[in-house]
Structure 1
Amino acid sequence: MTHSNDNKEYLSLNFLENPNAVALITNSSQVTFKSLSRLVKNAANKLLNAGVSNNCNCAIISENNIDFIISVIALWKIGTVPVPLNIRLTNQELNNQIKFTDCAYVLIHKEIKSKFSFETGTTVIEIPFYDSVQPIDSDHEIELNFDKNSLILFTSGSSDKPKAVVFTFGNFHSSALQTYKLSGARQNDTWLASLPLYHIGGFMIFIRALFNRSTLLLPGPLTNESLTTFINEHNPSFISFVSTQLLRITSAKTAPNSKLKALFIGGGPIEKNMLLEAIKLGWPIIKVYGSTETCSMVSALDLRKKLIKLDSAGKAIQDNSITILGKNKGEVLIEGLSVANGYYKEESQNLINGKFHSNDYGFIDEDGYLFIEGRIDDIIISGGENINANEITNTLLENILIADVYTFGVKDKQWGQSVACAVVPAKTGLNENMIRDYLKSKIASYKIPKNIYIIKSIPKTALGKVRKEELLKMLSLY
């Protein structure tokens, strides 16, 4: 419930409003809101005893599990800002991010603690840690002021150096409300934590469940098997997938669970035929667009209602404004209460006067639908011609012999840049000549890649974004 005090808005989390309702479901247990309240208070007491104080930053290194959830809420209770870190990073990368965000304390799950070592001066606290301590008080309510920092989260860093985005509770509240209105979510719904909690797409699943006092389903490891099992056993109301996860269910001809209200699809480009196949199987899809800086989704294409403009990113969700920098096509600018105020210790050209400069290139059509044609840096300028890498990628993905593609520009002495692409075959026998012959009837000759690299897989982040630097190193181009 939201309140106002001294002209400041805040959200009150009272876990005893409905104490016997189920807050969390894991592989081995169900946790009511009453039990969650006790666990959070115990964890907060342990953190205070360890020296963690308010108005500081505290790193969390953990898989998707109940301990991650309890740690975040306990840190909020004592006024500390959580900094979830990607467990797939190298030891050095983790230490760099801990140092950059001024985290004197690190909460790390006991199951992965042995994989990492930390620099001198960092206090490491092992989780879970809440079974052997007593509650600090009988207070079951947590006040989350809208203007107070709630989280620091690193961008996925698919190509450039990751930035640390600073969120407020107001950002979370606005984003959650927008999603409820879009999807028709109710308090008795269940939300599947189907994406990593250390990415914004996963973290906002947790927020949507928590702020609505709904049930969060925690399947543990995000393998296809564990997700499928959890979906079959617990029949979630809402699921969020990226394109690689959607591909698995369409390839397996998997039908949706009976109580599913919506499957949110985002995290990058989605191939139209894949969407149509999923819809044919009965999946109630909402295609969404957003980023870390926008607190996840800011536009949506609700395909549960009608099939229209499948190539688009839909329309701006309520309370967001999306405009284009330029006359017809250009950079996508986003404004709204869910847009973060800035980056930690960094001035950036991306967040200016409340507008997020997305670095996405696109346009808005006459009906108000947003179309994303790629990243600004995906525009390849070769011999004075502007070539859209996304157009080439999408054309190649229409070929049934091709499973995955990434198109990019490389330096060229004669042309400035030339077009290159990495291709993952769907079947054996595919070669460069076959790819070029296929493209000749589809696109102009100057757009056909000069260099084609046939590889086994394209390195991507957990949210399906291409790790460009890693790919270029694989191809000996970096």
Structure 2
Amino acid sequence: MKEFFYTYSEREDLMAIRTDSESFSYKKLFELSEITARKIISIISTEQTYVPILSSNSSEFIITTIALWNLGLVPVPLNTRWTEKEISDVIFKNNLEVILFEKEFAVKLNSVRIKKISFDDLFNSHSESFHKKNNDEAVVIFTSGSSAEPKGVVHTFDSLANSIMNGGKILNQSIGDRWLASLPFYHIGGFQIICRALSSGCEIIIPTDLRFESIKNSVSNFKPTHISLVAAQLKRLIEEKIKPDKTLKVCLIGGGFSEDNLLIEAARNGWNPIRVYGSTETASFITAANAEEIIAKPNTVGRAVDNVRITISSEGEILISTKSLLKNYLNDEKAINEKIKNDFYHSGDLGKIDDNEYLFVDAKRTDLIVSGGENINPIEVENALLKIPSIKEACVFPIQDEYWGQIVAAALVINGSIDEEFLKNELKKNLASFKIPKKYFFVNELPKTSLGKIERDKVRKMFV
């Protein structure tokens, strides 16, 4: 289904990419991609298949991605926030042989012992002729690694296209709409911004960077019709009283927990927020809920979008069946067999579905704390902590204990000072005694992914 993303490749009248310094049409984009493919073929063997890219969001990234597609090669965007060691480990463990990179990140490749080609060198190299090749695989996106070693999720053109079609009613895309590239391209939410735009002839607006000021300026200056944000970004936009243009159709809110009140307030301010739930493995969102649904069904992540079937296992795990599921994990046959059984993806999340088919996500199975034989959901404890006005951020995790097996601990970012006895008394109003943390750690900040999700495993390792 590669042609799904090439539909508008001849349109000279249709804007494809816009940045602060440049803009060009769909025809120009695909012409540049073809020129780049000729340059790639002169320095990279097409036998290598998987080609990692270390780059910020840029027109060069998109051009290079389409160029690799033309050659039947598969782009593997790497997280630019990874350390030199993390990048080296991923490249080594997945037998990757060549990397394309933006010069800004050259320092992170010092210990990488494979062929390294900067964008500057690539675009200045000579050209060779090539024949377009087909490959059903479109991209490898690594999971965030917030609780385990990153795994390379292999998606096909079919799975990416099916995700877009499944969410078609939510996205409501039209030719000439404007997508703000507000999430990093190395995450599925960011990469799908490219794919959604290509599939419908939308303009991709690329901010100078993904800092808040750049996002804010792009919202004001370019008036996107479609935005995808995490809760932290949306919260700050509202706090600074930024309002979108009336042409905004939808603002997807994913990437982890988002407060009901935040989305309800966003709706009042014209953001048209849609809380979505999905994962790298599902090629982005598979459920959606607007503000009215959240008011009616507090904490819901919505109902399944078209062509998605969700069930709950006897153990409470969320199981998902849809044509947007991953093809496999890169170099990990065992993992795919564990995660997909009888056409259902085992999400690792615990949840429930009500009588009206609304899904509620409780926790990740691997995050559950078992203390004295009692199962404790850390998200429930975090929500109770966050109701206390002095607490800005909370992360709840287990500490091994000889008597209880595990005890509940909490790392907190607070305003001012707070007394542990006061904390416990406040929590008793909402939690059973066995759920109340027995240890508290006060920190200035909590480690987060680039999407603003607290990295629970890293927090635990700080104190265990």
The verdict on a shared fold, with TM-score over 0.5 as the criterion, is yes
User: Quick check: 1:338 aligned with 2:321?
Assistant: no
Q: Classify 1:238/1:93 alpha carbon distance in 2 versus 1 (closer, same or farther; 3 Å).
A: same
Paired residue for 1:312? 300
CA deviation vs aligned residue, 1:17-66 (integer Å, no higher than 9, x gap)? 42221100112011111211221011101100113315611110001111
* RMSD between superposed Cα atoms in Å: 2.1
Deviation string, structure 1 residues 98-134 (Cα, Å, up to 9, x no partner): 22333211101123224422443x2111104336756
Q: Which runs of 4+ in 1 moved over 4 A?
A: 131-137, 142-145
Matched, 1:447 2:439: no
Distance change in 2, residues 1:12/1:267 (3 Å): closer
TM-score (norm: length of structure 2):
0.94
In the alignment, the residues of structure 2 paired with residue 78 and residue 282 of structure 1 have an alpha-carbon distance, to the nearest angstrom, of 43
Give the AA of the match of 2:175.
Answer: Q
Rounded Cα–Cα distance in structure 1 between residues aligned with 2:133 and 2:14? 21
* 1-structure distance, mates of 2:93, 2:354: 41
Which secondary structure does the structure 2 equivalent of 1:11 belong to?
A: helix
> Offset of 1:206 from its aligned partner?
1.0
Decide which structure has greater strand share: 1
Shift of 1:154: 0.9
Task: Give yes or no for the alignment of 1:21 onto 2:14.
Answer: yes
Structure 2 residue matching 1:293: 3-state secondary structure: helix
Q: 1:130-166 CA deviation, whole Å, 9 max, x = no partner?
A: 36756848x9xx7866xx1111111001011111111
State the aligned residue count: 460
SS in 1 for 2:204: strand
State how far apart, in whole Å, the 2-side matches of 1:10 and 1:24 are: 19
The 2-side partners of 1:214 and 1:25 are apart by 11
1:201-249: CA deviation from partner (whole Å, max 9, x where unpaired): 1111111111212111110310000000011000001111112112212
The answer to whether structure 1 residue 11 and structure 2 residue 8 are counterparts is no
Percent of residue pairs bearing the same amino acid type: 36
Matches within 5 A, 1:190-269: 190-269=178-257
1:428 counterpart = 2:420 = no
Equivalent position amino acid for 2:256 in 1: G
Q: Partners of 1:361 and 1:250 in 2: how far apart?
A: 31
Distance in structure 2 (CA, Å) of the matches to 1:125 and 1:74: 15
Q: Distance in 1 between matches of 2:115 and 2:382?
A: 47
Instruction: Tell me the residue number matched to 2:116.
Output: 124
- CA deviation profile, 1:376-409 (whole Å, cap 9, x unmatched): 1232221122222111111121222211111122
Classify the secondary structure of the residue corresponding to 2:4: strand
Equivalent position of 1:283 in the other structure: 271
Q: Which amino acid is the alignment partner of residue 40 of structure 1? A: S
Residue 354 of structure 2 is matched in structure 1 by 365
Residues 10 and 144, structure 1, Cα contact 8 Å, conserved in 2 = no
Relative to structure 1, is the Cα distance of residues 115 and 416 closer, same or farther in structure 2, using a 3 angstrom cutoff?
Answer: closer
Letter in 1 for 2:354: D
Report 1:57-72 matches (<5 A): 57-72=50-65
- CA 1:265/1:337 → structure 2, altered by over 3 Å: closer, same or farther? same
Written as runs of structure 1 = structure 2, the 5 A alignment for 1:159-198 is 159-198=147-186
Match of 1:44 in 2: 37
Show the counterpart of 2:284.
Answer: 296
Q: Judging changes above 3 Å, is the alpha-carbon distance between structure 1 residues 307 and 418 closer, same or farther for their aligned structure 2 residues?
A: same
Contact 1:166/1:341 (<8 A) preserved? yes
The partner residue of 1:470 within 438, 441, 458 is 458
Structure 2: distance between partners of 1:362 and 1:448: 22
CA distance in 2, matches of 1:126, 1:428: 47
How much has 1:305 moved relative to structure 2? 7.3
SS of 1:28 mapped into structure 2: coil
SS of the residue 2:201 aligns to = coil
SS of residue paired to 1:112 = helix
Higher helix proportion: 2
- One-letter amino acid matched to 2:380: E
- Corresponding residue for residue 459 of structure 1: 447
Structure 2 counterpart of 1:416: 405
Secondary structure of the 1:111 match is helix
Cα distance change on mapping 1:179 and 1:55 into 2, 3 Å: farther
Cα separation, partners in 2 of 1:251 and 1:433, compared to 1, 3 Å: farther
Aligned partners of 1:351, 1:207: CA distance in 2, in Å? 25
Q: Which residue in the other structure is 1:6 paired with?
A: none
CA distance in 2, matches of 1:437, 1:318: 46
State the 1:444 CA deviation: 1.5
Separation in 2 of the partners of 1:410 and 1:96? Answer: 28
Change (3 A) 1:395 1:305: closer
CA gap 1:114/1:406 in 2 versus in 1, 3 angstroms = closer
Structure 1 unaligned spans of 5+:
3-8
Letter in 2 for 1:339: L
Higher mean C-alpha deviation, range 181-190 or range 76-85: 181-190
